[in-house]
C-alpha cells in the first residue's frame, strides 16, 4: 500500500486560498455594507416609475406566486377511457383548467401502464404455475 502524500488533518497547501478573501466573499461584504442605501435607492426609483427597480424589489421581497390547484370533483368510477373522457369534457367546459386536465390525463396514462404491467405479471405468474 503506497504511503499517503499528506498526513491526515494536515493541509497539502497550508498557504492555500485565504478565508474571506475570495472575490465572491469580498463582493458580498461590500454589498452587505451598502445594502441599506441600495434598497433605499431602488425604492425611490420604483416610486418614480422605474419598472425594473420595482421588479427587482418585488422579485426579492415577494417571490412569484406558484399556481395552486383548486379541488376538483370528477367521477372516479368507470373505465380509464371513461374517466379520460370525463376529464376532457370538464376541461373543454372550463370546469377544470387545461394544465390540470393535462396532468390528470397524464396520471391516467401512468395508471394504465401500471395496470398493464400488473396484469402481465399476473399472466406470467399463472403461466409459470402451469409448468
Instruction: Tell me the per-residue pLDDT of 88-122, one tens digit each, with 9 for 90 and over.
Output: 999 999 988 898 899 999 999 999 999 999 999 99
pTM above 0.85, yes or no: no
- Rounded to 5°, the CA angle 60-68-75 comes to 170
d(CA 107, CA 72): 15
HEC letters along 1-47 = CCCCCCCCCCCCCCCCCCCCCCHHHHHHHHHHHHHHHHHHHHHHHHH
Instruction: Tell me the per-residue pLDDT of 46-74, one tens digit each, with 9 for 90 and over.
Output: 999 999 999 988 888 887 777 776 778 87
Amino acid at each position: 500500500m503506497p504511503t499517503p502524500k499528506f498526513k491526515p488533518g494536515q493541509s497539502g497547501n497550508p498557504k492555500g486560498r485565504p478565508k474571506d478573501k475570495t472575490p465572491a466573499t469580498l463582493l458580498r461584504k461590500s454589498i452587505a455594507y451598502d445594502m441599506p442605501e441600495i434598497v433605499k435607492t431602488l425604492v425611490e426609483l420604483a416610486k418614480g416609475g422605474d419598472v425594473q427597480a420595482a421588479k427587482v424589489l418585488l422579485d426579492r421581497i415577494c417571490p412569484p406566486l406558484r399556481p395552486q390547484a383548486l379541488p376538483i370533483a370528477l367521477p372516479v368510477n368507470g373505465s380509464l377511457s371513461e374517466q379520460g373522457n370525463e376529464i376532457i369534457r370538464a376541461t373543454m367546459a372550463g370546469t377544470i383548467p387545461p394544465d390540470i386536465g393535462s396532468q390528470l390525463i397524464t396520471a391516467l396514462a401512468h395508471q394504465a401502464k401500471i395496470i398493464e404491467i400488473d396484469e402481465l405479471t399476473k399472466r406470467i405468474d399463472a403461466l409459470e404455475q402451469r409448468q
